[in-house]
Amino acid sequence: MPAPLNPQLEMSALDIFPVREPISRRAYTVLRLRTRSGPIGFGECSAISPAELAALRAAIQGKEASSFESIRREVPVAASAMAGLNMAMLDVVGKFTGAPVYQVLGGPTRNKARALARIDGETDDAIVASIGQARAAGHRAFLVPVPMTHSRNHSATLVNATRQRLDRVRSAAAEGSDFVLDAAAGLTPGDASSLAAVLERSHLLWFDEPCPLLNLSAACRIAGENVTPVGFGRFAAEAGVFQDLLRNDAVDVVRPDLGRHGVTQVRRVAAVAEPYYVAIAPFHDGGPIATAAALQLAASLPNFFIQQVPYPAAGEDRRMRTRLTGAPVETVQDGFLQLPSGPGLGISVNESALAEYREREA
Amino acid sequence: MNRRHFLTGAGGTMAAGRLAGAPGRHQPFSFCDCAMEPQAAPMGADALAAVGSKVRITNLKTFGVTIPGAPPDRPYVFVKLETNAGVAGWGEGTLEGKAGAVLACINDFKEFLIGADPMPVEHHWQSMYVHSFYRAGPVMGSAISALDQALWDLRGKILGVPVYKLLGGPNDPEGVRGYYVANARTLEDLQRLRESAASQGITAFKGGLPNYYEWIETSQKIAEAIRHVQTLREGLGPDLDIAVDFHAKTSPSVAAVIIKELDALHLLWVEEPCPPENVRAMARIARRVETPIATGERLVASYGVRELVEQAVVDIIQTDMNHVGGITALWKVAALANVSSISMAPHACEGPIGMLASLHVDASIPNFLIQECCGQAVPQVRDKVWEEWFGFPAMRMVNGKYPLPEKPGLGFELTEEALKKYPFAGSRPMARVFHKDGSVAEW
């Protein structure tokens, strides 16, 4: 006979709070998961539709917050909504056991997590200014966009513009800085490969999302023609995409989107990458609750390299992120994020801040 | 035990508070000067002290356990990790024919663990595997498996939940689907087995092949093999799932010829149709037959299954909790298999600790198919002993499923006292078999 449900783990209510940063307009949804008589958990995802919320609410009834695997398979909602619920469930399990989520998951594997600041800005000047700010705030690694010329094929224009941008940010960021060049899937495989070849000896951390992952042979071409490490995966919806990239030697850094896959599924992607000696650097362009989850994840993985965190240019946006988690979870010291201390995700979500930044229905 | 006291921020104090009597881990040692840079302390687990728990491993004990009447080549290899938190964790690394080697290998890892925080199991796993330099074969894989299980047992007990809940399970609160050995050869015996399966709710059996096989085989032996499996299907009927273990007795050439004739029987799988070292040889069999192929019991770590998965050779992977590298590694193998829609049917033919540990992974992976236990529909000597040890009938199915343990950790209590009745009778080799001309045969 199955054991009766533990009321301290039994999930009873799920609420969502869509919020939006005032200046960057970056939006994300915070989930609040209540248990019958145990802790409250928080999670985060990009967005949840009313239908998905209804499906998730039905799915959690009569289940314990630890039983993520069975819920994941039973509920036909978008991966992102499930990712948010996954974080909230792990938060509950951690709080129930009195342990940080990384301990629930078998960590710590490290005592801090290297940070990658995603830099806002379109022009070289804006990017240089933003990097200066992020550097002063403790960041040492920066995700810099490729200059886009809005032409389909670029050749020398692209190469020159990229070189100029990298030269400028390198001299602005000073010694000890590292860079990821981000094409955000905006180049053709041919242009991406030419650019990667030119940058072989620039010793970037890696070249991120050089071209769209429309087919595997295009992706293979880039990694196959030069030694610049290549990252892929922020748009990948299925873990199988990572396996195909890995078994075709097409990727050096796997970049599953934490907000799309959730902690548990990103752990699976990491497990797939490990026997290829390939690092994982989860993509993350959401809010600070997901950052806390990302840090818990980082401290549970053997092959983690760096965690991307948004670095909004506006102080107002950064203030909102700090207020939501009740603690500066995104504070960076000499290039590293500290692991949150305390049980669960290690943050105390500020419900009045949630209400304040809540996005009203138009 | 006050869980919160042990789990909240250790704040680095434990680095200095390492327990008296633990071996020093920072003694200077010589190295070959080829690649290694000496590191200043703190390193390794000590560097994690500030973000770890206050629990410390105080002792590591190994046990060889021989049950009279059980297969003599596989005395159980158990390990017990004691802690300053008043809880102990148990694990198993039984390896057929190599008990002494695994016991010694577990003891080689003493310095990795005594004085360390047991919570960061992934860290300890990586350190044992990576810092052993030569990578793991079955002996080290079994030693790491034992220690990994014991660390998970501790984690669950310290956190106060069964391990499968830490892994997101259970898939099915009623338990984990399993199968027994079809220990019958004649049609009459098989029909009796079918009846007892119906009354016990058993849904699947596994049988084997008769004889030993040379690289190429005579028509008579091939016919005997086919007839043997046909009898299994005829006796057990069309509704039970039947797996057939070739046990790598056959070469790829002979296996393919036999399996071609078995395709019509719609078996659940054919297991290890050739030895495990050559993935392309296995692939050549799989390509030419329809019956699903299962393999993997001799493979270590997710590294060991990578090529099988990436070349999409098999339908089912069977890595063994006691050799693959414990819970940590079995979960990763399952994750790797899952993205290729390969199912997991973990092998288990040793002692009860590894089997109970397997249930926790089985209960929480999305691609779980069925769990082995090498038991029979009628309980054997070992089943009685296990019940005497644990106070419940470990690995006995109810309605075709092994019930999940509800206690924290791996879900059982075991005392050293209980093992004393079954003292270690030493390592015994696995059976050695030979062809009629005296040449070495696989079994």
- Tell me the three-class secondary structure of chain B, residue by residue: CCHHHHHCCCCCHHHHCCCCCCCCCCCCCCCCCCCCCCCCCCCHHHHHHHHCCCCCEEEEEEEEECCCCCCCCCCEEEEEEEECCCCEEEEECCCCCCHHHHHHHHHHCHHHHCCCCCCCHHHHHHHHHHCCCCCCCHHHHHHHHHHHHHHHHHHHHHHCCEHHHHCCCCCCCCCEEECEECCCCCHHHHHHHHHHHHHHCCCEEEEECCCCCCCCCCHHHHHHHHHHHHHHHHHHCCCCEEEEECCCCCCHHHHHHHHHHHHHHCCCEEECCCCCCCHHHHHHHHHHCCCCEEECCCCCHHHHHHHHHHCCCCCEECCECCCCCHHHHHHHHHHHHHCCCCEECCECCCCHHHHHHHHHHHCCCCCECCECCCCCCCCCHHHHHHHHHHCCCCCCCECCEECCCCCCECCCCCCHHHHHCCCCCCCCCCCCEECCCCCEECC
From chain B residues 117-146, the ones with a CB under 8 A of any chain A CB are 119-123, 125-126
Instruction: Of B192, B78, B97, B198, give the one whose Cα is nearest residue B427.
Output: B97
Whether chain B has a CB inside 8 Å of the CB on A362: the answer is no
Whether chain B has a CB inside 8 Å of the CB on A264: the answer is yes
Put simply, the answer to whether A107 touches B166 (Cβ < 8 Å) is no
The residues that bridge with B320 in the sheet, in sequence order, are B347
Active site residue B123: no
Residues of B in contact with A64 (CB under 8 A): 165
Put simply, the answer to whether B303 touches A99 (Cβ < 8 Å) is no
Is the per-residue pLDDT at A311 higher than 90?
A: no
Put simply, the answer to whether B335 touches A64 (Cβ < 8 Å) is no
Residues of A in contact with B411 (CB under 8 A): none
Interval A180-224: pLDDT, tens: 999 999 999 999 999 999 999 999 999 999 999 988 888 888 988
Instruction: List C-alpha distances in Å: A247 to A78, A276, B182, B334, B337.
Output: 27, 8, 39, 17, 13
Could you tell me which chain B residue has the CA closest to the CA of A342?
B8
Residues of B in contact with A267 (CB under 8 A): 335
Q: How far apart are CA A256 and CA A260, in angstroms?
A: 8
CB distance A264 to A257 below 8 Å = no
* pLDDT at residue B219 in the model: 97
Is the per-residue pLDDT at A165 higher than 80?
A: yes
* pLDDT at residue A120 in the model: 81
| Pairing between β-strand A336-338 and β-strand A332-333 as defined by DSSP bridges | antiparallel
Whether chain B has a CB inside 8 Å of the CB on A66: the answer is yes
* pLDDT at residue B21 in the model: 39
* pLDDT at residue B111 in the model: 94
Could you tell me which chain B residue has the CA closest to the CA of A247?
B310
Q: How far apart are CA A215 and CA B270, in angstroms?
A: 35
Start-to-end Cα distance in chain B: 49
Put simply, the answer to whether A111 touches B47 (Cβ < 8 Å) is yes
Facing B120 at nearest CB: one of A109, A276, A341: A109
Put simply, the answer to whether A69 touches B9 (Cβ < 8 Å) is no
Query: pLDDT under 70 in chain B at which residues?
Result: 1-6, 8-33, 38, 40-45
Catalytic residue chosen out of the listed positions B124, B323, B347, B360: B347
* pLDDT at residue B312 in the model: 87
Instruction: List C-alpha distances in Å: B80 to B91, B123, B132.
Output: 7, 19, 21
From chain A residues 234-263, the ones with a CB under 8 A of any chain B CB are 238-240, 242-243, 246-247
pTM, whole model, 2 decimals? 0.95
* pLDDT at residue B17 in the model: 36
Instruction: Of A311, A324, A327, A350, give the one whose Cα is nearest residue A23.
Output: A311
* pLDDT at residue B19 in the model: 40
Instruction: Of B93, B18, B97, give the one whose Cα is nearest residue B55.
Output: B18
Task: Report, in angstroms and rounded to the nearest whole number, the Rg of chain A calculated over CA atoms.
Answer: 20
Interval B235-287: pLDDT, tens: 999 999 999 999 999 999 999 999 999 999 999 999 999 999 999 999 999 99
B171 Cβ neighbours under 8 A, 6+ residues apart: A69, A70, A73, B363, B364, B365, B366, B368
B302 min Cα distance to partner chain A (Å)? 6
Instruction: List C-alpha distances in Å: B225 to A134, B210, B250, B291.
Output: 71, 6, 11, 16
Instruction: List C-alpha distances in Å: A163 to A158, A186, A195, A199, B333.
Output: 8, 17, 9, 8, 42
Whether chain B has a CB inside 8 Å of the CB on A7: the answer is no
Interface test with A, best of B2, B13, B51 (most A CBs within 10 A): B51
Residues of B in contact with A102 (CB under 8 A): 51
B189 min Cα distance to partner chain A (Å)? 32
Residues of B in contact with A240 (CB under 8 A): 339-340
B249 min Cα distance to partner chain A (Å)? 29
Is the per-residue pLDDT at A2 higher than 90?
A: no
Instruction: Of B324, B352, B373, B331, give the one whose Cα is nearest residue B142.
Output: B324
SS3 for A237? Answer: coil
Active site residue B347: yes
Residues of A in contact with B3 (CB under 8 A): 97-98
Q: How far apart are CA B91 and CA B153, in angstroms?
A: 8
